[in-house]
């Protein structure tokens, strides 16, 4: 089954940018819709952005205009470009596909925006 490894997180200041990567293995990446999620301390995991097999994207209201999701099927990788980061974007970021959301989550990557 498909599995994901997230990377690219880090410590940044408000207003800065960061790009996360989501590398897939175990199956044919191009057939999967990919979503990014995040979980802040003490909060439930929330959906951030999604990209379909054909490249159609959608975003949570809180990140629209600041985050961009993309995919490179040749590299089995999806990306989340984050700009104008805010302290409230601090969270562990995960990628997944809807069919695996009930039984599998990767280790995620930590994003910390500090002022």
71-115 residue pLDDT tens: 999 999 999 999 999 999 999 999 999 988 889 999 999 999 998
pLDDT of residue 67 exceeding 90, the answer is yes
pLDDT of residue 69 exceeding 90, the answer is yes
Question: pLDDT tens for residues 17-47?
Answer: 999 999 999 888 888 999 999 999 999 999 9
Task: Quote the CA–CA distance of 98 and 58 in Å, as a whole number.
Answer: 14
Which residue blocks in 4-114 are alpha helix, DSSP H?
none
Q: What does the block give as tokens for 22?
A: 């989501």
Residue that the structure tokens 């970021």 belong to: 93
């Amino acid at each position: 089954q498909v599995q994901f490894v997230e990377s690219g997180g880090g410590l940044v200041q408000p207003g800065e940018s960061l790009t996360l990567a989501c590398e897939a293995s175990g199956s044919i990446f191009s057939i999967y819709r990919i979503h990014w999620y995040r979980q802040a301390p003490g909060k439930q995991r929330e959906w951030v952005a999604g990209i379909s097999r054909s490249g159609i994207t959608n975003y949570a209201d809180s990140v629209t205009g600041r985050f961009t999701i993309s995919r490179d099927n040749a590299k089995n990788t999806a990306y989340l470009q984050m700009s104008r980061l805010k302290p409230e974007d601090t969270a562990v970021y995960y990628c997944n596909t809807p069919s695996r959301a009930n039984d599998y989550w990767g280790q995620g990557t930590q994003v910390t925006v500090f002022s």
